[in-house]
Structure 1
């Protein structure tokens, strides 16, 4: 694509790979490295989904030019569901609800349409269900047929993206590259200093328990400082919010919930509150990032691994499992580069307001992005303190109109009407349950089911939809920029033996040999400039990153 005919790959028959090059007969190979070598590095590989390329990545394929059918479908149609049967139906104008279900082995299967043994496409135009599940893919020739189906879908998706403009096509390419990056992130893992990890877990959760009695004793030890801060309180289950609220009430602390941000406001009211906040941190590590987490997710090679996804099914942010996106700050010292290696850590600065300036094309707001600190010129223009300007900008993107920033919000609408109108249009569509699109063209649905609600509840749901849509057009667009940046960095640092090991919302962590650190850092910064220029189609808005070279993730400021 992008001027080329795509290649297509399917793997999964006793190690056999079946590939369809742009021209000529199918290539069949008994070992994957041979299959990888059979196609030109310039071929754009097509896959039904990134999970299918995992064996190719293991075999050493770089897969820098890919078209991920599932990611392109999610981009065009929204949501998470993007199996081959749905993508095939979408490009052929079929009702996805009529796609056949996978065989279950019961008597009802006898009532289904009988197909010829080698027939991939049913008489009604849908793909056969056992091809989608993989059960039908028992010969190289069937793999080649399924690969050709993927190539047909990719070609039609490409036509649709091209018709919507260059930005939609570029976004599809970046999303596909991000999906391959997710496969690499899962395979290679995040470097962990096991000794430091064990020490930090011990400090928070106690020694590793080897029996239920030891685990219960460790719980009691964690609970003791909280109960000691309120003598005579008796037994309280700190894991029961109702009992915790009752305990706090006895201490004169009346709170609507036991959430962290609620408790923080009462930290100075009674000693039990800071003790409870400290307990929350330790309990989270003990239960979510404790000894079981270390055993299950940190491999013998001292790498933390979890499944990654290039899209969350909503606005399009990357997601990760095994705690990779929620690792507590207390455990970040355990994320350490290998001996002789370092991390290049880069964090996008004030990315969402800069994205707002870009996607709304508000020239006055774009001028503010020329400064390292966007909020300073905004505050000057509004005639308010910087802190108030920051709250106002963030409130505008999240649909909040009350509180200390209310007056400044009115100033934003006066001074930056184009940006504010962009947000308002999205909010209005969301309130009506209509979809919105990100800058790159991702469809974001807002038609959450309302069910049987009274008028007040319907109004509340409409308001929630509006706020979601208002933020989604910015958050989703920022995610597209981030993935375009990550895809650019992935290729740029490879000659230096560098590899991305973590993508955290707006933050990249690149593992690189120490002797190449400075050069890698420069490449990461240059990649942001290049990716932003391609994403935006110009340099009207300036994007910045805080880039540093560290040995441990915790050293990054």
Structure 2
């Protein structure tokens, strides 16, 4: 992403006013005038706004429709450099000043009559310091920024932390520190994009959504009794395949397992992937699996979900975050990231508009070629289908080549995948060596970093790896230490690729965000490796071309090379379900 010489301006917002402090700007502004002043400074000097976080500082600016093109988000930079999720101003300051993270003050828990904290403990006339006796920033520092002096102190501190974060990139990136700085820029841009996604929402065809929900969950119930009747009817369609058990509870795994045993299906648990091979064994299994999909829509994406989260303007809205606290993927709430496939036809462009849907193709293997700097593997990325030249080099068919590449990144070494992986290691030793080193680091609990510098930490023995739910870690499930070590190793080798792919995706999204704006386009969904752009119909072709050009530009800048080619499957559709894949 091209960038003019940096002019940094700190923006700090308190309860009643804000302060703009930096290159050529030193203004104390009432809250009512803040959006207008930020818009004016942005238009005239195009600074890089230094903020404690986009979410806490820029929300009203973005809500007013102001384009904020360049930021340095201290929270996102902290998550990148130091890993993890916690990135309050106190955490940022502690990291920048070398203070113990464990001693960072936390906001006190709320109580029924208000908030239990220093804000209610200080008597009138007191002028408390923003600092604790041991040198940490108070947890409620921004709440106390009610005077120009306090705002200035926090603005100067923000600029100090930005400089410290910028300096910290050198020891991480070495001679390629510019790459890490660009990652901070794109991570910061993603945080602003999250606010735009929350503001604009995802277009939904409400009548279509009602029909699709009705097809899965039944008609909209008139009352609780009617809801119970509809639910019982859905259950009967499954239970009729298990005679003699009309009152069984399909929502109780123990009773479901008994039902399965009654029809001759003996399985260790009732998870869908365990039951799938038995789908043709007995009609009860097929009915149960279909019921589960309908039940998910009925209970999670039913009429209440539609009423609560799709606004009067027919836009689905939810909270967005630029980083999941693990490998760095964007996440969203209210079904924006896990909408069931049967409901996708309800995601429809507004009248006079279309979607440009673009999905990165084979992105993780291509990212591996960049991260490993394996020139031989990079050559395979010149093809639209990376697996074809890999297959030719291995002397194998395409399915075997694909299995080998995926096995390398996900650590699968048993069965056919293991045999294919041996051939891959001989053909591409540089790329495979990188993954093996990451695996060894994970086993040893040594932290690893993504291509853009994100730190991924591993806890002490008995602690799940950062980014994994406790139930996903072998050690948390009581497995042997060796199995837990292997689990961390597999997680590490995939995280350095998945995390790097997330950084590329956000760099691409940030570039697309600006490229489609002159066409009246807006990004309305970021889903793992997929972008959905909403654009006036007359600009569809131009927007699709802009998305492709943005990928070439962002990938070249992110990778620092043209040797690795990235591709996307791009189509113009009216409904999300019309897109391939």
* TM-score normalised according to structure 1 size: 0.94
When residues 46 and 548 of structure 1 are mapped into structure 2, their CA distance, relative to the original with a 3 A threshold, is same
CA distance in 1, matches of 2:501, 2:277: 31
Determine helix, strand or coil for the equivalent of 2:480. Answer: helix
Note closer, same or farther for the CA distance 1:541–1:277 as it changes in structure 2 (3 Å cut): same
Deviation at 1:40, TM superposition (A): 3.8
Q: Which residue of 1 aligns with 2:441?
A: 429
Does the 8 Å contact 1:74/1:442 carry over to 2? yes
Other-structure match for 1:309: 321
State the distance in 1 between where 2:206 and 2:478 align: 55
Q: Give structure 1 stretches of 5+ with no counterpart.
A: none
Whole-angstrom CA distance in 1 between matches of 2:572 and 2:385: 22
TM-superposed deviation, 1:107: 10
- Whether contact under 8 Å (2:236, 2:246) holds in the other structure is no
State how 1:55-454 maps to structure 2 within 5 Å: 55-102=60-107, 117=127, 119-132=129-142, 134=143, 136-162=144-170, 164=173, 165-447=177-459, 449-450=461-462
CA contact (8 A) 2:522 2:535 kept: yes
Find the residue that maps to 1:548 and give its secondary structure. strand
The 4+ residue runs of structure 1 with deviation greater than 4 A are: 103-112, 451-456
1:48 maps onto 2:71 in alignment: no
CA, structure 1 residues 173+346, in 2 after alignment: closer, same or farther (shift >3 Å)? same
The 1:339–1:151 alpha-carbon spacing in structure 2 relative to 1, beyond 3 Å, is same
Q: Distance in 1 between matches of 2:201 and 2:9?
A: 29
Match of 2:472 in 1: none
The alpha carbon displacement at 1:122 in A equals 4.3
Deviation at 1:234, TM superposition (A): 3.4
Partner in structure 1 of residue 468 of structure 2: none
Q: What is the Cα deviation at residue 4 of structure 1?
A: 2.3
Shift of 1:3: 4.2
Aligned residue number for residue 513 of structure 2: 490
Residue deviations 1:283-302 (CA, integer Å, cap 9, x gap):
01011111111111111111
Q: 1:173 to 1:463 in 2, by over 3 A?
A: same
Check whether the contact 1:21–1:27 (CA below 8 A) recurs between aligned residues: no
Q: Give the equivalent residue in structure 1 for 2:41.
A: 39
Q: Describe the shift of the 1:137–1:449 C-alpha distance in structure 2 as closer, same or farther (beyond 3 A).
A: farther
Q: 1:435, 1:447 within 8 Å by CA — same for their partners in 2?
A: no
1:334-390 Cα offsets, whole Å, 9 max, x none, are 000000000000000010111111111112211111111111111222222211221
Question: Structure 1 stretch 212-221 or stretch 409-418: which is displaced more?
Answer: 212-221
Q: CA deviation at 1:18?
A: 2.4
State whether residues 10 and 18 of structure 1, in contact with CA within 8 Å, keep that contact through their aligned partners in structure 2: yes
User: Is the partner of 2:436 in helix, strand or coil?
Assistant: helix
**Distance between the aligned counterparts of 1:67 and 1:107, measured in 2?**
30
Q: Using the alignment, how far apart are the partners of 2:127 and 2:415 within structure 1?
A: 67
- For 1:106 and 1:198, the matched residues in 2 are separated by 44
SS in 2 for 1:336: coil
CA distance in 2 between partners of 1:50 and 1:466 (Å): 34
Mapped partners of 1:286, 1:465: distance in 2: 36
The equivalent residue for 2:554 is: 531
Q: Who is 2:522 aligned against? A: 499
- Per the TM alignment, residue 131 of structure 1 is displaced from its structure 2 partner at its CA by 0.8
| Distance in structure 2 (CA, Å) of the matches to 1:106 and 1:162 | 41
> Residue 17 of structure 1 aligns with which residue?
18
- C-alpha displacement of 1:206: 1.0
Cα deviation for residue 402 of structure 1 reads: 0.7
Would the aligned equivalents of 1:5 and 1:22 in 2 still touch at CA under 8 Å? yes
> In 2 relative to 1, CA 479–106 (structure 1 residues): closer, same or farther, beyond 3 Å?
closer
Residue aligned with 2:26, SS: coil
| Contact 1:17 1:35 (8 Å CA) reproduced | no
Deviation at 1:454, TM superposition (A): 12
142-151 or 361-370: bigger deviation = 142-151
Number of positions where the alignment pairs a residue of Structure 1 with one of Structure 2: 553
- Work out whether 1:513 is the aligned partner of 2:532: no
Aligned mates of 1:269, 1:484 — CA distance in 2: 48
1:493 alignment partner, SS class:
helix
TM-score when scaled to structure 2? 0.91
Alignment of 1:443-482 (within 5 A): 443-447=455-459, 449-450=461-462, 457-482=480-505
Alignment of 1:545-556 (within 5 A): 545-556=568-579
- Whole-angstrom CA distance in 1 between matches of 2:550 and 2:120: 56
- Measure, in 2, the Cα distance between the counterparts of 1:107 and 1:475: 40
Displacement after TM superposition at 1:140 (Å):
4.6
Q: How big is the alpha-carbon RMSD for the aligned residues of Structure 1 and Structure 2?
A: 2.4
CA distance in 2, matches of 1:82, 1:358: 29
Deviation at 1:35, TM superposition (A): 1.6
Contact kept in structure 1, 2:444 and 2:485, CA below 8 Å? yes
Quick one: structure 1 residues 115 and 429, their matched pair in 2 at CA, closer, same or farther if it must change by over 3 Å?
Answer: farther
